[in-house]
């Protein structure tokens, strides 16, 4: 009989833990969390949040599914999400949407006598561009006069990363990947110009927390006791949450209006007939394969992802390194209701396994779930731009999905000529026939098509898994 396996990222909360049983996602509710869960369930708040899609659905199932654990009071079953992303893979607008969701749930819960016990960005996932809260055991009964104990965590995992990009123009992704707990207020304070200190919001949520963190180790037991004895009126708690929400809602990324590739769809040099020919090739692929989850490596602003979705793909997970392009792709998905989640990815350095024992946050390769792939105008960026062996690039792409479309761009293409403009051409193996040979070593070529005369080739492959 198949046994439930604990999820590696779920171990910190004594109220319960997530388990995987085949394709099923289960969550235990222990005696520690039972009373709070019953309060939220019986008061109807949990149903309201799950019915409107902001909190993941849950159904009580047979407790015996987790064996004979003595402290388990309930077992909940959640719908399985198609893909798990990490906050350091999100674009600015995605992190902002996740922060606003957390604050909205906090404010609405407070009016019903509940609150959230933590403020982890990892409690949010995305379905397309729509955020969804996944930790139902984070909700608990509000205790009158209590402080917002999750304030520091919210600052480090939501506000500080957003401010780093909004106020300094520095993408937060590598910072969050380098420290999974978030960006400390002290680190952010050191990066801000002096005149930012006069903004009362920066003072309240960056400067003062940074000072408190520096002094916390020096205070005595009597001071700790006095701090713990203080209370925060519910109205002040509500005002703090609402003020943060207004601030975050108005934040925008301080990034160049036109990044390196954000206008690529308009300036790629394709003539109208060539662009339509490329789109038709992708339509044939998507209509035939109808991928349940299509990975679009080098998704840019999401144009071709949308073409694939309209032709038969069910969902697209897009990846790109260009922050301007990702913002446009997220806006496209948000406004059009497109089932596209654009994520930040350096394909030459994909997200590794991280956290406790290196498995708490799974590596990208361990989260592979694609049954279709688009890799358009990617190969030359890796083989030439990052000096990676052509065969290895093709192997990596084909490993991502059993069927897909890969584009090969010749050296005499204007984009590649620009890349080589100030470099020696040390890429004698970067040739079309070597590319095709690398594909044929792993897969059958179903169809191929020239898009621009002797410069760009589309190859539709079907991987051999022998």
Residue 381: what pLDDT? 95
Residue 121: what pLDDT? 98
Say if CB 463 and CB 402 are below 8 A apart: yes
- Domain identity same for 237 and 273: no
**Is pLDDT above 90 for 454?**
no
Domains held by the chain: number? 3
Asked whether residue 418 is domain-assigned, the answer is yes
Question: Residue 263 pairs with which residues in a beta bridge?
Answer: none
Q: How confident is the model at residue 41 (pLDDT cuts 50, 70, 90)?
A: very high
- Domain identity same for 44 and 135: no
Asked whether residue 314 is domain-assigned, the answer is yes
pLDDT tens-digit map of 167-187: 999 999 999 999 999 999 999
Residue 406 token pair: 């890969």
- Domain identity same for 323 and 359: yes
Residue 198: what pLDDT? 85
Angle at 308 between CA 307 and CA 313, to 5 degrees: 145
Asked whether residue 258 is domain-assigned, the answer is no
Angle at 342 between CA 136 and CA 365, to 5 degrees: 80
Report the pLDDT averaged over residues 23-28: 95
Distance CA 30, CA 70 (A): 9
Phi, psi of 156, rounded to the nearest 5 degrees: -75, -35
- Domain identity same for 59 and 182: no
pLDDT tens-digit map of 317-352: 999 999 999 999 999 999 988 899 999 999 999 999
Report the pLDDT averaged over residues 29-41: 96
- Domain identity same for 100 and 74: no
- Domain identity same for 197 and 277: no
pLDDT > 90: percent of the chain: 77
Report the pLDDT averaged over residues 26-52: 96
- Domain identity same for 284 and 375: yes
When mean pLDDT is compared across 183-197, 213-227, 293-307, 332-346, the lowest value belongs to 213-227
pLDDT tens-digit map of 87-107: 999 999 999 999 999 999 999
Asked whether residue 298 is domain-assigned, the answer is yes
Q: Among 204, 225, 249, which residue terminates a domain?
A: 249
Cα 397 to its chain centre, rounded Å, is: 20
Question: Residue 460 pairs with which residues in a beta bridge?
Answer: 405, 447
Q: How confident is the model at residue 299 (pLDDT cuts 50, 70, 90)?
A: very high
How many Cα atoms are found within 13 Å in the side-chain-facing hemisphere of 152?
12
User: Taking all residues of the chain, what is their mean pLDDT, rounded to a whole number?
Assistant: 91
- Domain identity same for 174 and 151: yes
DSSP string of 337-358, one letter each residue: T--EEEEE--TTS----BSGGG
- Domain identity same for 35 and 151: no
Which of 389-409 are b and which e, b meaning 16 or more Cβ less than 10 Å from the residue's Cβ?
ebbebbebbbebbbbbbbbbb
- Domain identity same for 99 and 225: yes
Residue 453: what pLDDT? 72
Asked whether residue 101 is domain-assigned, the answer is yes
- Domain identity same for 42 and 129: no
Number of other residues whose CB lies within 10 A of the CB of residue 272: 7
β-strands 139-141, 114-116 pairing: antiparallel
Report the pLDDT averaged over residues 296-307: 96
Q: What is the CATH number of the domain that holds 389?
A: 3.40.50.150
Contacts of 249 (CB under 8 A, 6+ apart): 96, 100
Q: Among 221, 249, 277, which residue terminates a domain?
A: 249
Residue 135: what pLDDT? 97
Residue 196: what pLDDT? 87
- Domain identity same for 74 and 96: no
**Is pLDDT above 90 for 301?**
yes
Residue 159: what pLDDT? 98
Say if CB 427 and CB 418 are below 8 A apart: no
Question: Residue 75 pairs with which residues in a beta bridge?
Answer: 28, 61
**Is pLDDT above 60 for 267?**
no
Taking alpha carbons only, the member of 405, 404, 371, 410 closest to residue 390 is: 410
Asked whether residue 259 is domain-assigned, the answer is no
Residue 424: what pLDDT? 87
When mean pLDDT is compared across 167-171, 223-227, 310-314, 430-434, the lowest value belongs to 223-227
First to last CA, the chain: 29
Report the pLDDT averaged over residues 262-283: 74
Asked whether residue 340 is domain-assigned, the answer is yes
3-state secondary structure 25-52: EEEEEEHHHHHHHHHHHHCCHHHHHHHC
Asked whether residue 409 is domain-assigned, the answer is yes
Q: How confident is the model at residue 279 (pLDDT cuts 50, 70, 90)?
A: very high
Residue 86 token pair: 């990490």
**Is pLDDT above 70 for 374?**
yes
Q: Among 61, 78, 95, which residue terminates a domain?
A: 78
Reduced to 3 states, what is the DSSP secondary structure of residue 447? Answer: strand
Reduced to 3 states, what is the DSSP secondary structure of residue 279? Answer: helix
pLDDT tens-digit map of 375-395: 999 999 999 999 999 999 999
When mean pLDDT is compared across 132-136, 153-157, 274-278, 340-344, the lowest value belongs to 274-278
Distance CA 456, CA 278 (A): 10
Per the structure, the complete domain to which residue 161 belongs is given by: 87-139+146-249
């Amino acid at each position: 009989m198949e046994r439930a396996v604990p999820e590696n990222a779920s171990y910190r909360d004594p109220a319960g833990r997530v388990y995987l049983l085949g394709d099923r996602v289960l969550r235990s509710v222990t005696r520690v969390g039972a009373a709070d869960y019953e309060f939220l369930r019986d008061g109807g708040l949990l149903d309201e949040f799950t019915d409107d899609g902001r909190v993941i659905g849950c159904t009580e199932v047979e407790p015996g599914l987790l064996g004979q654990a003595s402290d388990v009071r309930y077992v909940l079953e959640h719908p399985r999400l198609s893909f798990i992303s990490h906050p350091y893979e999100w674009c600015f607008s995605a992190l902002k949407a996740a922060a606003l969701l957390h604050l909205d749930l906090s404010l609405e819960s407070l009016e019903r006598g509940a609150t959230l016990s933590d403020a982890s960005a990892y409690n949010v996932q995305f379905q397309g561009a729509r955020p969804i809260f996944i930790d139902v055991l984070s909700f608990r009964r509000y205790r009158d006069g209590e402080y917002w104990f999750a304030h520091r965590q919210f600052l480090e995992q939501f506000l500080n990363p957003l401010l780093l990009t909004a106020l300094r123009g520095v993408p937060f992704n590598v910072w969050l990947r380098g420290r999974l707990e978030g960006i400390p207020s002290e680190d952010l304070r050191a990066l801000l110009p002096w005149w930012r200190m006069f903004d009362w919001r920066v003072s309240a949520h960056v400067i003062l927390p940074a000072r408190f963190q520096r002094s916390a180790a020096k205070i005595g037991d009597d001071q700790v006791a006095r701090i713990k004895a203080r209370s925060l009126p519910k109205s002040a708690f509500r005002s703090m949450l609402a003020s943060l929400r207004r601030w975050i809602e108005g934040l925008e990324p301080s990034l160049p209006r036109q990044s390196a590739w954000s206008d690529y769809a308009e300036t790629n040099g394709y003539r109208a007939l060539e662009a339509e020919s490329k789109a038709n090739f992708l339509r044939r692929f998507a209509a035939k394969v109808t991928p349940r989850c299509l990975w679009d490596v080098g998704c840019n602003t999401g144009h071709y992802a949308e073409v694939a979705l309209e032709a038969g793909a069910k969902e697209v997970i897009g990846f790109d390194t260009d922050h301007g392009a990702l913002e446009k792709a997220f806006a496209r998905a948000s406004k059009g209701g497109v089932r596209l989640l654009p994520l930040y990815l350096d394909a030459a350095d994909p997200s590794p396994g991280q956290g406790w024992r290196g498995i708490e946050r799974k590596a990208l390769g361990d989260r592979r779930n694609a049954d279709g792939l688009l890799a358009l105008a990617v190969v030359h960026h890796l083989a030439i731009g990052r000096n990676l062996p052509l065969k290895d690039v093709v192997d990596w792409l084909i490993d991502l999905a059993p069927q897909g479309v890969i584009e090969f761009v010749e050296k005499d293409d204007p984009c590649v000529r620009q890349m080589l403009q100030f470099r020696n051409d040390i890429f004698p193996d970067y040739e079309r026939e070597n590319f095709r040979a690398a594909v044929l070593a792993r897969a059958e070529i179903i169809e191929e098509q020239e898009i621009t005369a002797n410069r760009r080739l589309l190859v539709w492959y079907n991987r051999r898994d022998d």
